[in-house]
Amino acid sequence: MIRTTKTVMQSSKRLAGEKKEVLALRNRKADLVQDIEYKKTAEYAEEMARNSLNMIKPGEEVYIYPQNTPMGGSKPVEQEIELTPANRQERTPLQEWIDLFF
């Protein structure tokens, strides 16, 4: 009697574990199906064309920052500007901001 009860309890635990695994696999399958459906859309094709193939839409402009600018990384601009008499004059912060963005 005790042996039978122990076997039933072990089987119940194993069944509960298998049910959890089946539920996890069903959730994974649902995620994969959703991913497949998204990859069939034009939105995904556009995303891949833009990111992987560097394509743009007609009329769009792409800005590429060189490595030696603040946006591109590397060194700060102040280290690369040679001080000549023409650029030694004092500039207001507003003028510096305008030059930075335009």
pLDDT digits (tens, 9 = 90+) for 75-93: 544 544 554 555 456 677 7
How confident is the model over 30-40, as a mean pLDDT?
A: 96
- What DSSP designation does 47 have? H
58 in any annotated domain: yes
**31, pLDDT greater than 90:** yes
* Owning domain of residue 19: 2-62
Is 49 contained in some domain?
yes
Position 21 scores a pLDDT of 96
Question: How many domains does the chain divide into?
Answer: 1
Answer whether residue 14 shows pLDDT above 90: yes
Residue 78 lies in a domain: no
pLDDT of residue 64: 77
Q: Please give the share of the chain, as a percent, with pLDDT higher than 70.
A: 76
Distances (CA, A) of 7 to 2, 3, 14, 46, 102: 9, 6, 11, 57, 78
Q: Is residue 82 part of a domain?
A: no
If one counts every other C-beta atom within 10 angstroms of the C-beta of residue 69, the result is 14
At a CB cut-off of 8 Å and minimum separation 6, what does 5 contact? none
